[in-house]
């Protein structure tokens, strides 16, 4: 009998759920999503959880042993009490995400389902070290550059949650002018900066298109993001002594050389030889990484 986990990933723009096998493979047809957004409330999150979990569990294979639910959430979180304190969903501050998932899934199944809760960056890091780009690293950091910026650490194959589950929350590190890395380098922040310089687009996708077409401001916004990320990673590599950093998320694909730009900034900024040797690579799991990581909190 194959073991499976229910995986739930909660971010600033969407919530997803799927079933994931012990081999790290999503069950076909089990994945679905609902929008979250800045105006998300406990009631809207309750509705989203009910919808995506019911859909996932309806695809449970006949030979399945469902051993638990794993949750990765945008942070900050309080892993000890199961609550989220998200920057991008202020009205949902204090929401009991762990209990909501456990209660919903257990109600559908008719039995108690063990539930593990973690930061989405930590879940991604665990997935990358299990099946993705950092499998050979002794110490790694995996980050997402998207609507927000988040990350997580793995050392010797083990997820390092920290005291409250927020270790690796790189997006809230302060950079130039007192801004956080997320306020400089995320997709929305980069688009907003470009508009201040006279660019007329609206989104990260627009930046990608215009930079490819030769727009100097769009290109400058991409380079500004990559430089800020690389410099923050240099600090992290100096502090934690990392072998490797894996980068995923939609905005990390804004240009074909985004990862190279981050590597250049890290290498130029790092203070010591050991931190300068840290390698920056693209995520090996694509957009399935967060769900695989949530499942890995149970399966691994």
Provide the CATH number for the domain around residue 25. 3.30.420.40
Name the DSSP letter for residue 32. E
Residue found by looking up tokens 């390698």 in the block: 279
Instruction: Give me the sign of the Cα torsion angle 12, 49, 300, 160.
Output: positive
| Mean per-residue pLDDT over the chain, rounded | 95
5-13 mean pLDDT: 93
- Interval 52-105: pLDDT, tens: 999 999 999 988 899 999 999 988 999 999 999 988 899 999 999 999 999 999
| Domain ranges, residue 188 | 135-284
Residues 265 and 168 reside in one and the same domain: yes
Q: Is residue 152 situated within a structural domain? A: yes
What pLDDT shows up at residue 175?
A: 86
Residue 177 has pLDDT above 90, yes or no: no
Residue found by looking up tokens 């240099």 in the block: 234
Residue 35 has pLDDT above 90, yes or no: yes
Q: Is residue 43 situated within a structural domain? A: yes
Of 43 and 158, more confident: 43
Residues 158 and 275 reside in one and the same domain: yes
Residues 279 and 142 reside in one and the same domain: yes
What pLDDT shows up at residue 230?
A: 98
Residues 117 and 8 reside in one and the same domain: yes
- Interval 202-241: pLDDT, tens: 999 999 999 999 999 999 999 999 999 999 999 999 999 9
Domain count for the chain, please give it: 2
What pLDDT shows up at residue 75?
A: 85
Residues 173 and 265 reside in one and the same domain: yes
Residues 60 and 154 reside in one and the same domain: no
What pLDDT shows up at residue 189?
A: 96
Residues 115 and 164 reside in one and the same domain: no
* Angle at 279 (CA atoms; ends 291, 167), nearest 5 degrees: 50
C-alpha 103/C-alpha 198 separation (Å) is: 50
What pLDDT shows up at residue 87?
A: 82
Q: Is residue 129 situated within a structural domain? A: no
pTM: predicted TM-score of the whole model, two decimal places: 0.91
Helical residues (DSSP H) of 69-166, grouped into ranges: 97-109, 120-131
pLDDT bin (cut points 50, 70, 90) of residue 281 is very high
C-alpha 32/C-alpha 18 separation (Å) is: 7
What pLDDT shows up at residue 118?
A: 94
Q: Is residue 96 situated within a structural domain? A: yes
């Amino acid at each position: 009998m194959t073991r499976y986990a229910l995986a739930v990933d909660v971010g600033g723009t969407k919530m997803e759920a799927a079933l994931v096998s012990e081999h790290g493979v999503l069950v076909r047809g089990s994945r679905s999503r609902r929008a979250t957004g800045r105006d998300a409330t406990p009631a809207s999150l309750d509705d989203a959880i009910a919808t995506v979990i019911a859909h996932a569990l309806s695809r449970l294979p006949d030979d399945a042993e469902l051993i638990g639910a794993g949750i990765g959430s945008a942070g900050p979180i309080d892993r000890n009490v199961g609550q989220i304190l998200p920057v991008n969903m202020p009205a949902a501050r204090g929401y009991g995400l762990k209990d909501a998932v456990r209660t919903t899934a257990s109600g559908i199944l008719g039995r108690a389902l063990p539930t593990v809760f973690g930061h989405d960056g930590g879940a991604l890091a665990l997935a990358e070290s299990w099946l993705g780009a950092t499998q050979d690293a002794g110490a790694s950091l995996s980050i997402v550059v998207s609507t927000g910026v988040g990350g997580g650490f793995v050392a010797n194959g083990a997820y390092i949650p920290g005291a409250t589950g927020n270790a690796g929350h790189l997006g809230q590190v302060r950079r130039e002018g007192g801004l956080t890395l997320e306020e400089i380098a995320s997709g929305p922040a980069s688009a907003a900066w470009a508009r201040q310089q006279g660019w007329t687009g609206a989104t990260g996708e627009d930046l990608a298109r215009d930079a490819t077409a030769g727009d100097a401001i769009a290109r400058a916004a991409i380079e500004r993001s990559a430089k800020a990320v690389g410099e923050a990673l240099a600090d992290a590599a100096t502090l934690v002594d990392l072998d490797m950093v894996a980068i995923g998320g939609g905005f990390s694909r804004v240009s074909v050389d985004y990862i190279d730009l981050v590597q250049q900034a890290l290498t130029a900024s790092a203070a010591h030889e050991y931190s300068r040797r840290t390698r920056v690579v693209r995520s090996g799991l694509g957009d399935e990484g967060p769900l695989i990581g949530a499942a890995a909190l149970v399966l691994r």
